[in-house]
Amino acid sequence: MAAVLEYLTAELLELSVKAASQQAKKPKRLTPRTVTLAVRHDDDLGMLLKDVTLSVVV
């Protein structure tokens, strides 16, 4: 179970960083928008997280 969660987290972070770098020249941080874009552009993660809403908590 831990290995699956580690893999999903690594995949999500890798795709999110890639999405953030495409949006700006120097990405300084990941936002819920960049994570959502990364999830929606990946078929497998998109299917797995189709009912998940990412929101900002301040």
Delimit the domains of the chain by residue range. 2-48
CATH of domain 2-48: 1.10.20.10
- Its sign, for the CA torsion 6, 10, 56, 29, is positive
Give the pLDDT score at 43. Answer: 92
Give the pLDDT score at 8. Answer: 93
Percent of residues, the chain, with pLDDT higher than 90: 41
Give the pLDDT score at 1. Answer: 92
Residues 6+ apart with CB under 8 A from 23: 34, 37
For residues 7-35, average pLDDT: 86
For residues 5-28, average pLDDT: 86
